[in-house]
Amino acid sequence: MNDKNKIIAGLIVFLALFTFPVWYNLGKAAPAPEVILTEKAKEAKVCVMPTEYMRANHMQLLDHWRHEVVRNAKRVFVNADGKEYTMSLSNTCLDCHSNKADFCDKCHDYASVSPYCYECHIDNPKGE
């Protein structure tokens, strides 16, 4: 047990390194980004599902959409109000939310998520 000092020193070094990201970033938190809507989106007032739901679960909804379109040949989404939408990220979502940089990227960057949807799906379907 004469290694006590070495063990304690090792533990301290480990803890320091392990918690480095926390104290390095202390007090540097960026403010949460504001969601910016396009005129078209503002006009529409509602999304395919209630805003609260979309904010929390849009990724699950998109996952569900892609599953139904790709695997089950179902391409039309009917929401609770009976309104129909084509299930397409590029052609439906981005039709209203054509400001991907402001609407999608800012929040994704803030949350440190990098979905790779746009490696294949067009991010500006209107070619603007």
Partner 1 sequence: MESRRSFLKVAGVAALGLGTTPALKAVAASGEAGGGAPQPQVKKGAKALTAKQWAMVIDTRKLQTAADVEPLIEACNKIHNVPHFNNKNHEIKWIWETEFKHAFPDKSNSFLNESVEHRPFPVLCNHCENPPCVRACPTKATFKRESDGIVLMDFHRCIGCRFCMVACPYGARSFNFRDPKPFIKEMNRKFPHRMKGVVEKCNFCAERLAVGEMPACVEASQGAIAFGDLYDPHSPVRELLKENFTIRRKQVLGTEPSVYYIV
Cα angle 113-87-120, degrees, rounded to a multiple of 5:
50
Smallest distance from partner 1 to CB 23, Å: 31
Q: CB under 8 A: which stretch of 8-16, 19-27, 35-43, 64-72 binds partner 1?
A: 64-72
Q: Rounded distance, CA 33 to CA 55, Å?
A: 13
Smallest distance from partner 1 to CB 17, Å: 31
Number of residues counted as binding partner 1 (CB under 8 A): 40
Q: CB under 8 A: which stretch of 4-12, 26-34, 37-45, 118-126 binds partner 1?
A: 118-126
Q: Copy the structure tokens of residue 53.
A: 């739901």
Torsion sign over Cα 36, 80, 82, 57: positive
Q: Rounded distance, CA 6 to CA 14, Å?
A: 12
Cα angle 47-49-54, degrees, rounded to a multiple of 5:
85
Q: Copy the structure tokens of residue 10.
A: 């090792």
Q: Is residue 70 a contact residue for partner 1 (CB under 8 A)?
A: yes
Q: Rounded distance, CA 50 to CA 79, Å?
A: 10
Q: Is residue 40 a contact residue for partner 1 (CB under 8 A)?
A: no
Q: Out of 11, 44, 78, 111, name the contact with partner 1 by CB under 8 A.
A: 78
Q: Is residue 100 a contact residue for partner 1 (CB under 8 A)?
A: no
Question: Which residues in this chain contact partner 1 in the complex, by CB under 8 A?
Answer: 49-50, 52-53, 56-57, 60-61, 63-68, 70-82, 86-87, 90-91, 116, 119-122, 124-127
